[in-house]
Structure 1
Amino acid sequence: MSAEAEVLDELHRLRARVPLLTGALAASIDGLVLAQDTPGVEAEGVAALTAASLGVSLRMAEVTGRGEFRELLVRGERGYVATYAAGGSAVLTLLAGERVNVGRLHLEGRRSGARIGELVDGALERVDPRETARSPRPATERT
């Protein structure tokens, strides 16, 4: 199974584990879709916005001395957008309804982010280990 297929499989399993999760997207830190399960949502636009918010989040954590990026949560009147570090070269963005259990969302999002990070970083290292060494590296939560 390819890394892309394994990441998509992880997104499907994540959506099955978290009630009220309406979408899941893995993207590179520069905003390219790696895999997505986001019915009714333009994945490319979400990936691009994720990259933009990641840049601000990385800088905010750095300027305030809070360490490396781990996660970002946005709450709107109709639900949540949560972004988690996924290794050194990817992020996981989740879309959830307003009644989602946020604790469960974080628990499962962190676990899936770590798994996706392993898959994506491992695939990149097999292609060109020097390329991943030059990438900015948001931290992943170890579970």
Structure 2
Amino acid sequence: MAVEAEVLNELHRLRMRMPRLTGALAASVDGLVLAQDMPDVQPEGLAALTAAALGVGYRLVDVTARGEFCELLVRGAGGYIATYAAGPSAVLTLLADDRANVGRLHLEGRRSGSRVADLLAARHAARVPPPALPSDGAPSPVPPPPGRAPGALPMRIPRQSRSQWGPQYGP
């Protein structure tokens, strides 16, 4: 079964476990829809807005030195929008009505975010073949970049003078 279908199945199971959920979306951190189960909202628009909110969330966590981003919760008069990290490359966004139990929303959202992350990691692992070993079992040497002789040191790039870039860019 394709990973996208498995992610969609996870979203369906999540909505079955939580009747107060009105939508679920798995998206990449750059705003592309991976899977969605939301009848009342345009998923592409929500994925793009989620990516923008995620950027603000990452920045808030960074500025306040609160560690790694985990989740974001927004409450409106009609309900909740919750976004959970789903590994390094995806997020899970859930829509819930105003009578939803927020503790349960977090519990189920974190579990499903972790499951989506596992599914996407398995897809990535399946696409990346392991490095080939020579017949003696020793790892093969890493080839030099194109245009550089084996064993050559990187070119030294001269430092630009401060006056060339202007005083606002520092020394």
TM-score, length basis structure 2: 0.74
- The 5-angstrom pairing of residues 23-38 of structure 1 reads 23-38=23-38
Richer in strand (by share): 1
- The 5-angstrom pairing of residues 19-58 of structure 1 reads 19-58=19-58
Greater shift in the superposed pair: 35-44 or 119-128: 119-128
TM-align CA RMSD:
1.0
Aligned partner of 1:134 in structure 2 is none
Could you give the per-residue CA deviations for residues 76-121 of structure 1, whole angstroms, max 9, x where no partner exists?
0000000000011100000000000100000000000000001012
Residue-pair matches, total: 129
- The 5-angstrom pairing of residues 1-12 of structure 1 reads 1-12=1-12
Richer in helix (by share): 1
Runs of 4 or more, structure 1, over 3 Å off, are none
Partners of 1:10 and 1:53 lie apart in 2 by 23
Contact kept, 8 Å, 1:88 with 1:121, in 2: the verdict is no
Q: Which runs of 5+ in 2 are unaligned?
A: 130-171
3-state SS in 2 of match to 1:30: coil
1:100 maps to 2:88: no
Aligned partner of 2:75 in structure 1 is 75
Q: Which runs of 5+ in 1 are unaligned?
A: 130-143
Q: Which has the higher contact order (CA 8 A, sep 6+)?
A: 1
User: What fraction of aligned residue pairs are identical, expressed as a percent?
Assistant: 69
The structure whose Rg is larger is 2
TM-score, length basis structure 1: 0.88
